[in-house]
Structure 1
Amino acid sequence: MTLPSTKKAPDGGWGWAVVVASFLALFLAYGSPQSVGVLYPEWLSTYQEGKGMTAWVGSLVSGIGLIASPICSACVVNFGARPVTIFSGVMVSGGLMLSAFAPNVSFLIFSYGVVVGLGCGLVYAATMTITCQYFDKRRGLALGIVSTGTSFGGFIYATGQNELVELFGLDGCLLIIGSLALNVIACAGLMRPLQLPAYYLKQKAAAFEKVEGQLLEKVVTSDLDPIKPPCDKTADNPLIATETKEPTEPVVFKRSFSICAVLVEVIKKKQKTYSSYARSTADLFQDRVFGSLCVSIFLFSLGAFPPLLFMEDVAQSEGLIEGVSLFPLVSIVQVAGVLGKLGLGMMTDIRWMNSVYLYAFTALGSGMALLAIPFTKNYVGLQVISAVIGFMSGNWSITPYVTTKVVGIERLTEAHGILMFFGGFGIMLGPPVVGWFFDFMQSYDLAFYFSGVCVLLGGFLLVVSSLPCWPRPKGDTRASDEEYTNDLVAAVA
């Protein structure tokens, strides 16, 4: 769905206020979910559940927002960025505060995993959309500033939540960060819309359709009414009265038939639209490289996301550190993630750089780092591995560029949504799978072997599928990376 622009993108001015508000909104909303690894050991000791069961909390809060991204985007298109941001602030804050009173892990999965996760997905879609509306020439810079709010939030909240748990306990920590999340509502006040949401446009269209429908109904009624006799003789002759009442049944039948015909026509149009979308999606999966990219992103999310949740527990389980350090491993991952987003993004601008191979390289590097975790027997080694994994996880920022290389600029939005679904599904499954491995083996070694092999397999599959020796599909007229403009790519990013 696209909306007509009511104002031209100013590329500055009030747009920078929108950038600051969007950055703070993502900082406040994603701070706790991005540093959920600090809370994970506390939940284990509080609820005494298995690590696989408890891991669902952290996996859902990060994965459900990606899986529901089409719904979140539709909400922004229909209602606008400001109302959606306000509602998301209420969801994130309410979910965090509600988690403080969770009696068990099952309730925590709903309050923290589902409610907070959906709230984060809504605020992310809203901030990206409003930023794209305010910027055109400087859109890449604005989106880069806004998107780093999640990483900075994870870095600050990792240390902050650790201190709050020490001072006020787990419940007090969740209540405090939940109250801080209410400031997302204040950030929404600065998001002045430049484009009319589809909801208001639909209201205007519905009003016109209602008027047209009333006029059409009058015309249809006048056409279907029986011919009346020139003079009223029903009072004198009851036979005539009977004859004039008989045509009412065919008239009702004709009216109901016309309504059914209209409904059938509407259903056919909807079915045609859905069938066209299904065929378009099937055509995407016929592309060898795109199918491999979907599998690679799924395997990367399945294997590379669990360290964000389990690294602190690994350090404590192996006796490498007591408690949580002043700068947790989660903070190192987030800082390295910021550097990775910026560094990998600049590398895609190099003319001779192949973005598909660059993404495959990040997957292979992450897989090697994951396989090295079981052999690391000191805390400094875990810090180095956390930095490597964090830097390689910055490949999320180059996903739109890779998608453009594979499917072309025209199908970028559709293909990117499919890839985010696979990524969210992998994030949702990764931590529980690793936790179940620990519950079964009482060791993280096999779990990280599994994660490393999955990520390596995804990177290797992407490299093999994109080799130039494979025959090119018929009708494939995609150009090289440098021929694409960055506007739509940055908008999707």
Structure 2
Amino acid sequence: MSPQTLDKAPDGGWGWVIVVASFAGQFLAYGSPQSVGVLYPEWLDAFQEGKGLTAWVGSVVYGAGLIASPICSACVINFGARPVTVFSGIMVAGGLILSAFAPNVPFLIFSYGVVDTAGLGCGLVYAATVTITCQYFDKRRGLALGIVTTGTSVGGFLYATTQNKLIELFGLEGCLLIIGAFSLNLMACAGPMRPLHPPGYYLKQKAAYERTEEQVFSQPEKPGASEEPLQPTAASNGVAKDPLITVEAKDTPVDGERSLLGGSPLVLAVRKRQRAYCKYMRSTGRFLEDRVFTALCVSLFLFTLGAFPPVLFMEDVAQSEGLIDGVSVIPLVSIVALTTGLGKLALGAVMDLRWIDSTHLYAFTMVGTGTTLLLIPVSESYAALQVLSGLVGFFSGNWSITPYVTTKIVGIEQLTEAYGVLMFFGGFGTILGPPVVGWFYDCTQSYDVAFYFSGSCVVLGGVLLFLSALPCWERRKRENSRPEIHMNMGHLVTARLSCLA
């Protein structure tokens, strides 16, 4: 099948194949990171390190990939979703297999966290699948994104139980080796990702090929012997100059470039890249001039700072409080993953309703998540933790509508770059959240203060986003943009007399 060159999103057809492939890609890439809470107690027992240090493994596995989102977005723009997904499959599998041989926690942070996600693994998969899904869908974008991002939740639900069983049968090292080998199927998910638009690298190569072809087939005509010799032209200062000399002077380097290495190809290439990077930074800075987008970035930072730790610490909370011995048949991480999938589907379907304000709904889910986190310290039974885990998971399903909200703010043309900037803020919150909670526990020997802190951050983020998206800001902006007319009574009388005359 030849690549499509449509300008309008098909909203179906091959787009549903893209949805299935993207679902499978996120399932394979994020299954183990989503259920990292099952591995966390095993790492605590194996390495005998503090909870604050060990928590860096789970936080880096998400945060590093999100921080590298601008780089991931640039890779998808230039090379397309298919090659990026193939490369990410190699990195995800390599990171998991390398983690099986980790001798200590710092090495595990590098192998499971950095190699697995930092712009080369899961982050590339997420950027590729979200971008190509948004390109193929317009009217049904919310539903499509909900299905695609549900892959992470289904993966977390199944991987949590599977990894727990593999640890019992083959140990921690054997579990990571098997999961890593299974992740190689990510490369097969890249096959159906047919690009709707040619990527930037392809367009650059095509333009370069066309220029080379024109130079080969268009030979310059040599002047005949009967033609008159070129006459010198007078310059503005009265000095005669030959046109050939003038043309050659344009190609010669200026005084600054005549210095050592000034006109070398390496220096020229570096200057060209520098101009491209400066242009990219200026375009990125323009996104932050938008009030709602800036509030969304800050809110996502606060949300990831407080909402991610329960995924990592929920099992340890139950064991520390004496509510359960060991990991249950259906871990709390699996409950979070299952309800997150339901939340993604429900919120994605609701987003397609015209009367729903996507930004306000996103803020509501943040407030709901924060309120639930504040109730975790006062829970006194394992059943209560199960219910609260389900609520946290359902409200955390707002990840499926994050690209939708971003598209409504900046437009589909700038989605990839803006989404990379947004995930950059989210990455910092994800990296800092679990270590902060772990340090709170190391200092107080209790999770109460940590979860009060996390819940307050998430509620603050939701309130901030809700206030920034109120319609009164737009109304005030329109009123301030109206021109003011100052006219006294004398000018009014003079104007009427002139009209009567």
TM range (shorter): 0.7 to 0.9
* Bigger mean CA deviation after superposition, 308-317 or 177-186: 177-186
Distance 1:89 1:254, change over 3 A: closer
Q: What corresponds to 2:252 in structure 1? A: 255
| Superposed displacement of residue 38, structure 1 | 0.6
Tell me how far apart the structure 2 counterparts of residues 255 and 214 of structure 1 sit (CA, whole Å).
Answer: 24
Tell me how far apart the structure 2 counterparts of residues 192 and 468 of structure 1 sit (CA, whole Å).
Answer: 40
Q: What corresponds to 1:318 in structure 2? A: 321
Q: What corresponds to 1:223 in structure 2? A: none
Q: Is the 8 A contact 1:294 1:419 kept in 2?
A: yes
* Bigger mean CA deviation after superposition, 297-306 or 466-475: 466-475
Tell me how far apart the structure 2 counterparts of residues 69 and 369 of structure 1 sit (CA, whole Å).
Answer: 29
Aligned pairs for 1:206-355 within 5 A: 206-210=208-212, 255-257=252-254, 260=257, 278=281, 281-355=284-358
* Bigger mean CA deviation after superposition, 310-319 or 340-349: 340-349
Q: Is the 8 A contact 2:147 2:344 kept in 1?
A: no
Give 1:457's match in structure 2, choosing from 460, 463, 472: 460
Aligned pairs for 1:360-375 within 5 A: 360-375=363-378
| Superposed displacement of residue 13, structure 1 | 5.3
Distance 1:75 1:282, change over 3 A: closer
TM-score normalised by L of structure 2: 0.78
Tell me how far apart the structure 2 counterparts of residues 65 and 88 of structure 1 sit (CA, whole Å).
Answer: 11
Moved over 6 A (4+): 6-10, 211-219, 251-254, 261-273
* Bigger mean CA deviation after superposition, 262-271 or 19-28: 262-271
SS at match of 2:121: helix
Residue 84, structure 1, aligned to residue 91, structure 2: no
**Deviation per residue, 1:23-42 (Å, 9 max, x gap):** 22221111101111110110
Tell me how far apart the structure 1 counterparts of residues 465 and 8 of structure 2 sit (CA, whole Å).
Answer: 40
SS at match of 1:182: helix
| Superposed displacement of residue 16, structure 1 | 4.0
| Superposed displacement of residue 255, structure 1 | 3.0
Distance 1:279 1:193, change over 3 A: closer
Residue 396, structure 1, aligned to residue 393, structure 2: no
| Superposed displacement of residue 397, structure 1 | 2.2
**Deviation per residue, 1:169-202 (Å, 9 max, x gap):** 1101101111111111233334344544433332
**Deviation per residue, 1:117-166 (Å, 9 max, x gap):** 13111122233344455556655544332221111101100111111111
Q: What corresponds to 1:439 in structure 2? A: 442
SS at match of 2:5: coil
Tell me how far apart the structure 1 counterparts of residues 464 and 150 of structure 2 sit (CA, whole Å).
Answer: 30
- Count of residue pairs brought into register by the alignment: 449
Matched to 1:92, the amino acid is: V
Distance 1:422 1:182, change over 3 A: same
Residue 95, structure 1, aligned to residue 95, structure 2: yes
| Superposed displacement of residue 457, structure 1 | 1.7
Tell me how far apart the structure 2 counterparts of residues 432 and 342 of structure 1 sit (CA, whole Å).
Answer: 30
Tell me how far apart the structure 2 counterparts of residues 198 and 6 of structure 1 sit (CA, whole Å).
Answer: 16
Matched to 1:305, the amino acid is: F
Distance 1:76 1:176, change over 3 A: same
* Bigger mean CA deviation after superposition, 102-111 or 206-215: 206-215
Tell me how far apart the structure 1 counterparts of residues 432 and 170 of structure 2 sit (CA, whole Å).
Answer: 32
The unaligned stretches of length 5 or more in structure 1 are 220-226, 228-247, 478-493
Distance 1:342 1:68, change over 3 A: same
Tell me how far apart the structure 2 counterparts of residues 196 and 289 of structure 1 sit (CA, whole Å).
Answer: 31
What is the identity percentage for the equivalent residue pairs of Structure 1 and Structure 2?
68
Tell me how far apart the structure 2 counterparts of residues 196 and 456 of structure 1 sit (CA, whole Å).
Answer: 42
Q: What corresponds to 2:53 in structure 1? A: 53
Residue 177, structure 1, aligned to residue 185, structure 2: no
Aligned pairs for 1:95-244 within 5 A: 95-117=95-117, 118-132=120-134, 139-193=141-195, 195-210=197-212
Aligned pairs for 1:33-48 within 5 A: 33-48=33-48
| Superposed displacement of residue 19, structure 1 | 3.2
**Deviation per residue, 1:206-245 (Å, 9 max, x gap):** 33445678999999xxxxxxx9xxxxxxxxxxxxxxxxxx
TM-score normalised by L of structure 1: 0.79
Q: Is the 8 A contact 1:56 1:432 kept in 2?
A: yes
| Superposed displacement of residue 378, structure 1 | 1.1
Distance 1:282 1:145, change over 3 A: closer
Distance 1:44 1:13, change over 3 A: same
Q: Is the 8 A contact 1:6 1:196 kept in 2?
A: no
Q: What corresponds to 1:489 in structure 2? A: none
Matched to 1:19, the amino acid is: V
Give 1:383's match in structure 2, choosing from 383, 386, 397: 386
Tell me how far apart the structure 2 counterparts of residues 286 and 16 of structure 1 sit (CA, whole Å).
Answer: 36
Tell me how far apart the structure 2 counterparts of residues 405 and 199 of structure 1 sit (CA, whole Å).
Answer: 27
* Bigger mean CA deviation after superposition, 358-367 or 133-142: 133-142
Q: What corresponds to 1:65 in structure 2? A: 65
Matched to 2:445, the amino acid is: Q
Q: What corresponds to 1:359 in structure 2? A: 362
Q: Is the 8 A contact 2:139 2:352 kept in 1?
A: no
Tell me how far apart the structure 2 counterparts of residues 14 and 289 of structure 1 sit (CA, whole Å).
Answer: 34
**Deviation per residue, 1:430-468 (Å, 9 max, x gap):** 111111111222221111111111112222223333445
* Bigger mean CA deviation after superposition, 414-423 or 298-307: 414-423
* Bigger mean CA deviation after superposition, 11-20 or 174-183: 11-20
Tell me how far apart the structure 1 counterparts of residues 289 and 479 of structure 2 sit (CA, whole Å).
Answer: 12
Q: What corresponds to 1:448 in structure 2? A: 451
Matched to 1:32, the amino acid is: S
| Superposed displacement of residue 92, structure 1 | 0.8
| Superposed displacement of residue 272, structure 1 | 6.9
Tell me how far apart the structure 1 counterparts of residues 191 and 412 of structure 2 sit (CA, whole Å).
Answer: 34
